[in-house]
Amino acid sequence: MAAVDITVDTLAALWRIRFIRVILALFFLGISIVGSFVNWTQLVPETYFSNRRNGVNMYFVKVSWGWTLLLLTPFILFTSYKNLTFALRRLSSLVVATAVWYTFTKSFSYINNATGTCRVPESDAMDQVPHDDITSCRNAGGQWDGFAISGHSFILSYSALIIAEEMAPMVHMVKKNRNTVLDLLYISLNWIVIIWIWMFVCTSVYFHSFPEKLLGTVLGILPWFLTYWIWYSMPLSPGLPYQPKEQRQLA
């Protein structure tokens, strides 16, 4: 398992650097802007990932928060199990993150519903009552035109950023306290971050308007910043992932 050890050590050394996590947030902002410009030029041809029903979107992105919790929950337990109080505090950060995810996604849906109108083909418009919500509009074969803040831009950036924060303590895990399950779980978290980044790029290039993507991205970055950079450093909070004091000052 030497290859696994080397991979884990290399990735852990990368994510321990706080500035790298800041760069990731700036990367999402940059891709949102550049991807929107590429979308505007219409120079990128249609690909497998321009189809909303592609496998990665259907089986990963559509349930991205489930994947994030599925991998992060055992990882936090593995890296903080020696201190039950600390472990419970750290797990409460996932409760906070889930509340953020739920509140924001519901708000996006409400805004889209409140700002939109239904357009149905002229041939089908006769004898039809107005459709005042997205579901009835689509069931009638219509197209809903509302301000649809990009849920993909939000959840992919937010999930990747909190995973990056939670992976940081891996560098402090003594090898004798690590095991194959933990190492493979850590590598899986890194793979899921790569998938989220790639699908964020695809969203930026193929879908939504520029304001919808930019706002979704900003709203993905904002709660990460407010929690991990401000609130979690305070006493009455879930607390930050474990880092020795001297390492925290260097990060």
What would you report as the CA-atom Rg of the chain, rounded to the nearest whole angstrom? Answer: 21
Residues contacting residue 204 through CB under 8 Å, at least 6 positions apart = 31, 32, 34, 35, 36, 38, 39, 153, 213
d(CA 148, CA 202): 17
Check 152, 165, 183, 219 and give the catalytic one. 152
Residues contacting residue 30 through CB under 8 Å, at least 6 positions apart = none
How far is residue 38 CA from its own chain's centroid? 22
DSSP 227: I
According to DSSP, the residues that pair with 144 across neighbouring strands are: 118
Alpha helices in the chain (DSSP H): 2-15, 18-41, 55-59, 64-80, 84-115, 122-125, 134-139, 151-167, 180-206, 210-224, 245-250
172 given a catalytic annotation = no
152 given a catalytic annotation = yes
Phi first, then psi, for residue 117 (nearest 5°) are -135, 155
Scan for tokens 């120079």, then name that residue. Answer: 43
d(CA 82, CA 74): 14
Burial profile 131-155: b = 16 or more Cβ within 10 angstroms, e = fewer: beebeebeeeebebebebbbbbbbb
Check 21, 90, 131, 208 and give the catalytic one. 208
Active site residues: 152, 208
